[in-house]
A and B are shown apart, each in its own frame.
Chain A
Amino acid sequence: MIEAGTKLRLRFAKEGRAVYISHLDLMRTMQRAFLRAGYPLKYSEGFNPHPVISILLPLGVGAASVCELMDFSLTAPLDEAELPERLTAAMPEGVRALEVYPGGRKVKELKWLELEGVFEYDARDPAEMAAGLRDFFARPSIVITKKTKRGTGESDIAPAIRFLSFSPDEKRVLLRGVISAQEPTLNPEHLANALRQLAPELAPDFAEFRRLEVCDAEMKVFR
């Protein structure tokens, strides 16, 4: 049992149809799921109390993950072994609570993101594409144009890529890799955007990504 008021960290998966739930909607969904499961979230004090929950690394709409982390506290003691099953039962399809534990490392120590992806090619040879992709992402500098709040800006994404591998199958190229999660943050969508901007002949007809694990600067699993 964990004492009431302890800082807790939840690891959860967001897959299937749930990948289309936006970050903001997920926060609302979490609040409601905790209530449904009978876990009283601790609220902030003040004029407009709201549950103090924080998702460490917001996930883009359309991307899946099996390593999402969320910090929260409860106003009641917690049987941590029981939480994953009970909370998952209160979630929409595709969101699964995996484990909960007290504390957790400081957010700023989170550095790398392990991911996999699928690049779909409707009318091109995946083996040829995979070869091209390996060459492209081996470039020392990959400068792309990004839309920011103040118009557009240029950014080199190459330093944010630690490692990427590409393996073709029938109609697709499967991607595995490690990219920077923080400072700088690299949204995996920019891997496909880089191709659209700099090497359209390699740009996939459709790309999707899945977060597999979060790691610290030494590539040790972050918890």
Chain B
Amino acid sequence: MDPRLKRILPKVQKPARYTGGEYNQTVKDKDQVELRCALCFPDTYEIGMSNLGMRILYHTINSMPGVWCERCFAPWEDMETELRAAGLPLYALESGDPLKDFDALGFPIGYEMAYTTVLNMLDLAGLPVRSADRPDLLPLVFAGGTSCCNPEPMADFLDLMVIGEGEALDNEVLELLRTAKREGWTKQTYLRAAARIPGVWVPSLYQPEYDEDERFTGLTPLSGAPETVTKRIVEDFENSPFPTKQIVPSTEIVHDRVNLELFRGCIRGCRFCQAGQVYRPVRARSAEKLIQQGIESLQATGYQEITLSSLSSSDYRELGQLCDGLLDYCVPRSIGLALPSLRADNFSMDLMQRVQKVRKSGLTFAPEAGTQRLRDAINKNVREEDLLESCRVAFAGGWNNVKLYFMLGLPTETDEDVVGIAKVAEDVYRLWREHAVNKARGVRITVSTSCFIPKPHTPFQWAPMVTKEEYLRRVKLLRSSIRSRAIVYNWHDAETSEIEGVLSRGDRRVGAVIEAVWRKGGRLEAWSDFFDHARWMAAFEACGVNPDDYTLRPRAAGEPFPWERVNMGVTRRHLWREWELTQEDRLSPDCRAGCVGCGARALLGCCPDHDVEMGGESA
């Protein structure tokens, strides 16, 4: 260990997150390694080690002979101060070697508010933040993750982006880098060659164009870069790599448990949901495989809790069989099974009671909108009677803690919809009074609202956001509509949402704002501790960027988007059709009820109206 680091660690909070050395970490012989890569997660260790994508990529990259992939996370404020004071550059956890000596630095970016942290980590590593200021090939600075589906805001900082699922693509990018390193290619040569790998986006090979009103008009591909880049996906999800020998952190992390991924994609087509659109098509693992992976993971880690993860776990066809199989293993060993993201419409007493055998947690539902009209307009296929029936069953089964999540500011929302949220909560409360088995214990109904943010590659990419003032007016209206004391109302601030709104649908000019905010100290801004709205406003001003132009302006049907040349599988034609259905309050069927022809099936090379299978081959 670096003697400078040894002196720093006793001074910072939770030093174990900066040391590496955890059980199951991968260590390779440096002399036998040709290419060294570090996955640099732009948030803390506790968040990054809880990220399943990070764990999958660590495993798939390390499966390459001669390539060693290590980890790095953003230091907390105290550690950053100490590192800078000691002149110690940011390092990778396994070897302790400085990041600037690596061949490739990969940033998984799942959230736009992490952008400033990416810049800060590059700076802490001793690297210039702009790609153009890093003339050498090595280290290659690349990124992937959901946020890259709009590559423009971070275009000036990253050498390369991988579009889609990293485990389908990262190894090809690194294999080419190995060749480039061995043969001494220039950065330019490498990037032009890499741009020919399907799914690779090289930002410097796309020139943004603006008209005389400074409105974005499109991206021009340079040097033979492809017209569009189509995301890569894992086609055979059943047999795709899943690490059962996962690293077990020696200090507590946010999701300190085994995380089983049931399926990727979502059969629902909620129009506000970016994940539901960009992870299509749906691909599931069989219950048999999942039970085996779950048991192997529990044995290899010693974890005492396992959770099922996916975008909508109750849509998994073999959920009952899967839970039974896992419970057979878990119950005798006092291992907890947690079931997040259940939908209100097919929640069953049976499943609840089976899971309850081990641990009884609170119930969470996300109706998203307060009236059936608006739920139909956003294509949230949840009917109020299903939600209420689920709650009735839950209360009769002894639950007394329900959380309800909603959004304010959704397209077409009226005051009637806002007041409707209070009505839903009051109805849930009424059901508790009628059906609770033990009223003496009381009930807690929590209503949370956040501000709707339109995201690229969704039907709502054309929609304006509401202003902060309007959001707060709706918050007040809702608050005054809630009468019962058993209902607790929490609302998220709209200031972060406003910035996230700009970054989500931003073009390359927003990059200058990101840099300006970072230069004024911005980083870790997903944490309210470090988010500073005024700093963003000052940066918009200084860079001559009007945030309202990105958040409040309705987009025209044919308007070019900065993410136009990225193909996430779902076609623009389909998204526009869904946007039109929104105006008519009309639902679209989910993938099981009928194919809407979104286009994503083409990624599997299948006939687009082929029936979607869920729960493996036998389903």
Contact = CB atoms under 8 A, between A and B. Distances in A.
Interface string B80-97: 000000000000000000
Given A17-B1, A90-B23, A34 B252 contact: no
B298 to A, nearest CB: 8
A208 B304 CA distance: 35
B302 A22 contact: no
Contact of B16 (A20, A31, A43, A90): A20
Contacts of B6: 206, 208
A35 B91 CA distance: 32
A49 B336 CA distance: 12
Interface string A21-55: 11001101101111110000001000001000000
A49 B334 contact: yes
Contact of B21 (A31, A35, A94, A206): A94
Interface in B460-494: none
Contacts of B22: 92-93
B300 interface: yes
A91 B9 contact: no
Most buried by B among A25, A33, A35: A35
Contacts of A16: 1, 21
A205 B369 CA distance: 60
B302 A31 contact: yes
A31 B9 contact: no
B171 interface: no
Interface residues of A, number: 28
B250 A35 contact: no
Contacts of B179: none
A92 B23 contact: yes
A139 B302 CA distance: 50
B250 A25 contact: yes
A212 interface: no
A199 interface: no
Interface in A34-87: 34-36, 43, 49, 61-62
Contacts of A91: 23
Contacts, number: 72
Given A20-B9, A92-B21, A92-B23, A32 B302 contact: yes
A18 interface: yes
Contact of B250 (A29, A31, A208): A29
Given A18-B21, A94-B21, A206-B6, A36 B304 contact: no
A171 to B, nearest CB: 10
Nearest to A207: B10
Nearest to A33: B302
A21 B23 contact: no
Interface string B1-23: 10000110110001110111111
Contact of A90 (B1, B21, B302): B302
B250 A21 contact: yes
Contacts of B252: 25, 28
Nearest to B9: A20
Nearest to B22: A92
Contacts of A61: 10, 15
Contact of B301 (A25, A36, A49): A36
Given A17-B19, A90-B302, A92-B22, 13 more contacts: A21-B250, A22-B14, A33-B302, A34-B302, A35-B299, A35-B302, A36-B23, A36-B300, A61-B15, A90-B23, A92-B23, A92-B250, A206-B6
Closest 7 CB pairs of A and B: A32-B302, A17-B21, A35-B302, A93-B21, A20-B15, A36-B302, A17-B19
Interface of B: 1, 6-7, 9-10, 14-16, 18-23, 25, 248, 250-252, 299-304, 334
Interface of A: 16-18, 20-22, 25-26, 28-29, 31-36, 43, 49, 61-62, 90-94, 205-206, 208
